[in-house]
Amino acid sequence: MRSLVLGGARSGKSAHAEGLVPEDAPVTYVATARRDPSDAEWNERIAAHVARRPAAWRTVEAPDPASPRRVLAEAGDGDHVLVDDLATWLTGVLDDAGAWERDRAALAVVAEHCDALVTAVSEGSGHVVLVSAEVGLGVVPETRSGRLFRDELGSLNARLAAVCDEVLLLVAGCPLRIR
C-alpha cells in the first residue's frame, strides 16, 4: 500500500499521515527537514514533530537527497515507511544542485533525484506513506525561484500520485480522499 498525503501549510497533513501507520508496526520515519542551529523557530517545529511520534518508531534524518529512496529500497514487505515531507526534501535537492536559477545541468540533477524517488516508491515492497505540500492552489509566485519550486513540486506530486494506491488532500484539518 502506497499513500500520498497532500495539504497546505498547517493543514494537518503530517498528523494525518502519522495516523495512517499502525503504532505497533515496525515504522521508519524519514525526516527530510534539515536542521539549522541558528533558526530557533524551525527547530521548534522539528521538535514538535519528534514529540508527536511514538517512541518505538525508528527515525532516519535524511539530509542527503538519496536517503528517502535508500530507506524505501531497504523496506521489507511488513515494514512501514513514512516520509515527511517531500517539499522540504525537494528544497534540499534544489539547494544541493544549485538549481534555483534554472540552470539546465542543475535541473537535470534535480530530475534524476525525482525520477529515482518515484521509482523507489513504485518498486518498494513495504507500506509507504508520503507527505507533501500542495502548493499549486494559490497565486502564481512572483519570484522565479518560487515558480520553480511550485512547478517542480507539483510535477513530483503528480508523478507520485500516479504510483500511489491512495491520495488524500488535507484541507483545514479535514481529509478528502482523491483516490
Contact 21, 175 (CB under 8 A): no
Q: Catalytic: which of 49, 80, 113, 127?
A: 49
Burial class (CB in 10 A: 0-12, 13-18, 19+), 27: buried
Element (H, E) at 165: none
SS3 of 142, please?
coil
Residue 55 vs residues 83, 94, 152: alpha-carbon distances, Å: 17, 32, 34
Q: Known catalytic residue: 113?
A: no
CA distances in angstroms from 61 to 13, 32, 76, 159, listed in the order given: 19, 6, 19, 24
| Contact (CB, 8 A) for 67 and 30 | yes
Indicate which residues carry an active-site annotation. 49
